[in-house]
Chain A
Amino acid sequence: MDFLRPASWQEALAAKAEHPAAVPIAGGTDVMVEINFDHRRPEYLLDLNRIGELEEWEADGDTVRLGASVPYTRIMEGLRAELPGLALAAHTVASPQIRNRGGVGGNLGTASPAGDAHPALLAGGGAVEAESVRGTRMIPIDDFYLGVKRNALAPDELIRAVHLKKATGPQQFSKVGTRNAMVIAVCAFGIALHPDLRTVRTGIGSAAPTPIRATTAEEFLTAALEEGGFWDNGKAVPPSVARQFADLVAGAANPIDDVRGTASYRRHALAVMARRTLGWTWEQYRGKQQDERNQPCA
Chain B
Amino acid sequence: MRVTFTVNGRRQEADDVWEGESLLYVLRERMGLPGSKNACEQGECGSCTVRLDGVPVCSCLVAAGQAEGREVVTVEGLAGKDGRLSTVQQAFVDAGAVQCGFCTPGLLVAADELLERTPEPSDGDIREALSGNLCRCTGYEKILDAVRLAAARTGEAV
Q: Return chain B residues, CB-CB under 8 Å to A98.
A: 43, 58, 61, 132
A interface size (C-beta, 8 A): 28
**Is B65 a contact partner of A33 (Cβ separation < 8 A)?**
no
The answer to whether A32 touches B131, judged by C-beta atoms less than 8 angstroms apart, is no
Which A residues are CB-close (under 8 A) to B22? 32, 36
Given the contacts A36-B60, A182-B131, A97 and B49 also touching, CB distance less than 8 Å: yes
B132 contacts across to A, CB distance below 8 A: 94-98, 181-182
Whole-angstrom distance from the CB of A259 to the nearest CB of chain B?
15
CA distance A182 to B63 in the complex (A): 21
Q: Of B19, B42, B68, B131, which one neighbours A36 at CB under 8 angstroms?
A: B42
Taking a contact as CB atoms closer than 8 A, the residue among A3, A29, A94, A95 that contacts B65 in the complex is A3
| In contact, B44 and A182 (Cβ under 8 angstroms) | yes
In the assembled complex, how far is the CB of residue B35 from the closest CB belonging to chain A, in whole angstroms? Answer: 16
Contacts of A41 in B (CB 8 A): 20
Judge if B108 is at the interface, Cβ distance under 8 Å.
no
Per-position binary interface string of chain A over residues 35-50, scored 1 when its CB falls under 8 Å from any chain B CB and 0 otherwise: 1110001000101010
Which residues of the other chain, B, contact A1 by a CB distance below 8 angstroms?
18-20
* Contact residue among B63, B110, B129, B133 (Cβ-Cβ distance under 8 Å from A25): B63
* Selected contact of A28 from candidates B44, B56, B62, CB within 8 Å: B62
Q: Report how far A181 CA is from B132 CA in the complex, Å.
A: 7
- Please encode chain B, from 12 to 34, with 1 for each CB lying within 8 Å of some chain A CB and 0 for all others: 00000011101000000000000
Chain B contacts for A19, CB-based, 8 A: none
Residues facing B in A35-76 (CB within 8 A) are 35-37, 41, 45, 47, 49
Contact check, A32 vs B19: say whether CB atoms are below 8 A apart: no
Inter-chain contact A29/B43, CB cutoff 8 Å: yes
If the complex has contacts A25-B63, A28-B62, are A96 and B19 also in contact, measured as CB distance less than 8 A?
Answer: no
Q: Is the CB of B20 within 8 A of A35?
A: yes
- Chain A residues, CB < 8 A from B118: none
Q: Is the CB of A32 within 8 A of B61?
A: yes
B61 x A33 contact (CB < 8 A):
yes
Q: Kindly state whether residue B66 has any CB partner on chain A within 8 Å.
A: yes
How far is A218 from B57 in the complex, measured between Cα atoms in Å?
Answer: 39
The reply to whether B46 and A97 form a contact with Cβ atoms under 8 Å apart is yes
A262 CB-CB contact with B under 8 Å: no
A-contact 0/1 string along B50-73, CB 8 Å cutoff = 000001111011110110100000
Q: Which of B1, B57, B128, B131 contacts A100 (CB 8 A)?
A: B57
A216 at the interface (CB under 8 A from B): no
Distance in angstroms between the alpha carbons of A182 and B61 in the assembled complex: 15
Bound CA–CA A11/B46 (angstroms): 34
Given contacts A32-B62, A94-B132, A97-B132, contact A45 B20 (CB under 8 A): yes
Given contacts A35-B20, A97-B43, A181-B132, contact A5 B65 (CB under 8 A): yes
Residues of B near any A CB (own CB < 8 A): 1, 18-20, 22, 41-44, 46, 49, 55-58, 60-63, 65-66, 68, 110, 128-129, 131-133
A interface residues (Cβ-Cβ under 8 A, vs B): 1-3, 5, 25, 27-29, 31-33, 35-37, 41, 45, 47, 49, 94-98, 100-101, 180-182
Using A3-B19, A180-B131 as known contacts, list a sample of 14 further A-B pairs with CB atoms less than 8 Å apart, ordered by residue number in A: A5-B68, A29-B61, A31-B63, A32-B60, A33-B43, A36-B22, A36-B42, A37-B42, A49-B66, A96-B56, A101-B57, A181-B131, A181-B132, A182-B132
